[in-house]
Amino acid sequence: MISTTGQRLFINRSDLHSVQIGADPDAPGSRALQLGEARLEVQHFALTANNITYAAFGEAMKYWQFFPAPDAAWGCLPVWGFAQVVESRADGVEPGQRVYGYLPAGTHLVMQPARVSSKGFTDAAAHRQPLAVIYNQYSRCKSSVDADEAIQESLRAVLQPLFMTAFLLDDFLAENGFFGARQLLLSSASSKTAMATAYGLGQRRGTAGHPTVVGLTSASNREFVQALGCYDRTLVYGDVAQLDPHTPTVYVDFSGSAGVRTLVHTHFGDQLSFSSAIGGTHWTDLGGSTGLPGPRPSLFFAPSQAAQRSAPPPAGWGRDVLEQRIAQAWQRFAHHALAGPQPWVHISQQHGAQAAEAGYRALLEGRAPPSQGLTLSLLQ
């Protein structure tokens, strides 16, 4: 029997600390399906620092536009997770089918499936068409899973979206010869996207011209970052001055901290060959970048690199080759993240509105353990 009620996490777009759990606008009791639409029930989704970046850059990067809230002053937080089709008036999409993809942090999503195939479909809803295609694709998965498979699904929801960004960032840096740098400096080194990037960069270790990888982190996370083994060196933020200012360096900024950015740019000056802005884990310290010594920070948008590599040869690799390379690299990384005496990620599966709000606040306030991989379900 289909549940007619639902709930969704809403965030005040002008105050990220202000959150509330409200009725899900896509629940069966909230709206009927139109011809060509399907309703998904969100079974579980991941919540990571990446989602805080979505909220922090919600206006600038149009993340709030994927799942518009009934009240425009509020936003629906985008997440990655698994959902099951519970109703459908769309050809080729049947109730009972499960998919993985971009979802609202809630219980339901109404979409307009298009380009339906054995692999999955895209959401052709009008409001999503101007947005990045990579976020509108949904892949089919097993209709049911056992307990061990559920852990693997949770790992996929927690890490795979971050890994895709990391894979594309590593590829972008290598494609550009690391901008001639002998050193890569990664802020927020304990964040999962930074960890995955450092892992990818580490696979190139020992090759000609490969720069060393230095992780910047807080004092409380330094021991965790050092134990990962994917950074050549780990420093706390205040120790940037220990680095040789004459070493050609690329700054890869996952924190978004204006203070750390100023510190790095001032220390290296013209020896900073490239400065890349990725995320906003230090969202309370976001700021402008005008007037800084060295290069102007450049925003890295993973879908743009994906689109470039998806182009047919010789301009790109072609979509099939890109997907194959990402899948192979993901399998290696996922095994590495869970293997060994100290796994990088410990999956925590939680349920209910209270857990969702608490998990969001812990990430927002920087209190979540870096090793935690949190998945949630709002279904009652």
Fold entry, domain 7-144+345-377: Quinone Oxidoreductase; Chain A, domain 1 (3.90.180)
Please, what is the end-to-end C-alpha distance for the chain in angstroms? Answer: 13
**How much is the pLDDT for 1?**
41
Q: How far apart are CA 52 and CA 265, in angstroms?
A: 25
Task: Locate the domains of the chain by residue range.
Answer: 7-144+345-377, 180-306
Single-letter code of the amino acid located at 363:
L
Query: Considering the domain 180-306, what is its CATH architecture?
Result: 3-Layer(aba) Sandwich (3.40)
**How much is the pLDDT for 208?**
78
- 337-340: Cβ within 8 A, 24+ apart: 337/155, 337/159, 338/155
**How much is the pLDDT for 308?**
94
Residue with token string 């969704």: 8
Q: How far apart are CA 197 and CA 176, in angstroms?
A: 16
Q: Is 350 exposed, middle or buried (0-12, 13-18, 19+ CB in 10 A)?
A: middle
* Run means of pLDDT, 10 residues per run, the chain, 380 residues: 79 96 96 97 94 89 95 97 97 96 98 96 96 92 83 90 94 95 95 93 85 95 93 95 96 90 95 87 56 89 92 94 94 83 86 96 91 93
Q: How far apart are CA 241 and CA 256, in angstroms?
A: 19
CB 50 within 8 A of CB 161: yes
Q: Which helix (H) or strand (E) holds 47?
A: strand 38-47
**Inter-axis angle of helices 302-310 and 147-175, to 10 degrees?**
80
CB 37 within 8 A of CB 112: yes
Sign of CA dihedral 50, 55, 58, 60: negative
Number of H helices, E strands in the chain: 8, 18
**How much is the pLDDT for 287?**
58
What is the side-by-side order of every strand in the sheet holding 74-76? 15-23, 7-12, 74-76
Please give the full DSSP string across 49-99, using - where no structure is assigned. Answer: HHHHHHHHTTTTT-GGGSS--SSTTEEEPEEEEEEEEEEE-STT--TT-EE
Q: The pTM is what?
A: 0.87
